[in-house]
Structure 1
Amino acid sequence: MEIALIAHDKKKDDMIRFVTAYQDIFAQHRLYATGTTGKRINEETNLPVIRFQSGPYGGDQEIGALIANNKLDMVIFFRDPLTAQPHEPDVTALIRLCDVYSVPLATNMGTAEVLVRGLEKGDLQWRSIIRGETRHE
């Protein structure tokens, strides 16, 4: 599965703790992230991460383009709802794209845990069908 990981500045530590807690699961998938989030995940877990620009510099839009081209299966985006973001329209567009293309999206740790546990059990295999892949067993 192709998973995007994004965290606003005040949520980056939470993202690192979360990815560390589920590192064995994330290690089985391809990870994408915006700039600093991806750098920190890689440095602190040694998981390979395909990195894009930081969110305010277009990273959210780059992730959105993957969603629009049906190349992402899940987005975990730890948003900071209490701090105004200069790139809020990009954040809103990213969330809208997840809804348009039925890409599972978690914006907090509770929902992210449900998604990752489902990923572990194979509950998200339907994404492979949507992407036109066939599963060989």
Structure 2
Amino acid sequence: MQKTLALVAHDHKKQELIEWSLQHKAVLEKHKLVATGTTGGLLTEALQLPVHRFKSGPLGGDQQIGALIAEGNLDVLFFFWDPLNPAPHDPDVKALLRLCSVWNLPVACNLSTADMLITSPLFDNPAYKRKMPGY
């Protein structure tokens, strides 16, 4: 079962996301990958896989990914955000993470959580269906 996975990283976390993605390429290549602008370009080059690129985060890319969540079209968000370097689009970041909670979407905000999520037996288990709230 192919999932749609979003890969997002702040500037100081992009290299970490790329290295993590290379380590998990065998899993990632089975799924549809989407990313914000710059991160998507770096991932396409590093992984040699197709990555749908939205706008850069500060230019609306975070909100485009948020729309996928709200529409039920995203399965997992890997968002390596940098809590020590505030970005001008911090409200967008907060809104994106809020939507993950609202829609019960699995989200990994750091390397350890991303490792645990992608290696979970439930990750590629077609029998597992996350509970969608019925707002």
Taking structure 1 as the reference length, the TM-score comes to: 0.89
Match of 2:128 in 1: 125
Instruction: Report the aligned-residue RMSD.
Output: 1.6
Distance in 1 (alpha carbons) for counterparts of 2:128 and 2:90: 31
More helix by share: 1
Matched residues in 1 for 2:41 and 2:100: separation? Answer: 24
Do the aligned partners of 1:25 and 1:120 also contact (CA within 8 Å) in 2?
A: no
Q: CA, structure 1 residues 124+29, in 2 after alignment: closer, same or farther (shift >3 Å)? A: farther
Of 47, 50, 68 in structure 2, the residue corresponding to residue 48 of structure 1 is 50
Question: Following the alignment from structure 1 to structure 2, what is the Cα–Cα distance between the partners of residues 101 and 115?
Answer: 17
Partner letter of residue 75 of structure 1? L
**Alignment correspondent of 2:83:** 81
Return closer, same or farther for 1:92/1:123 CA change in 2, 3 Å cut-off.
farther
Q: CA deviation at 1:44?
A: 0.9
Distance 1:106 1:123, change over 3 A: farther
Gaps of 5+ in 2: none
Q: How does 1:83-102 map to 2 (within 5 A)?
A: 83-102=85-104
Q: Which runs of 4+ in 1 moved over 4 A?
A: none
Deviation string, structure 1 residues 78-116 (Cα, Å, up to 9, x no partner): 000100110000000000000000100000000001111
| Alpha-carbon distance between aligned partners in 2 of 1:58 and 1:41, rounded to the nearest angstrom | 19
Matches within 5 A, 1:2-81: 2-81=4-83
Give the count of matched residue pairs: 129
Q: Which residue of 2 aligns with 1:113?
A: 115
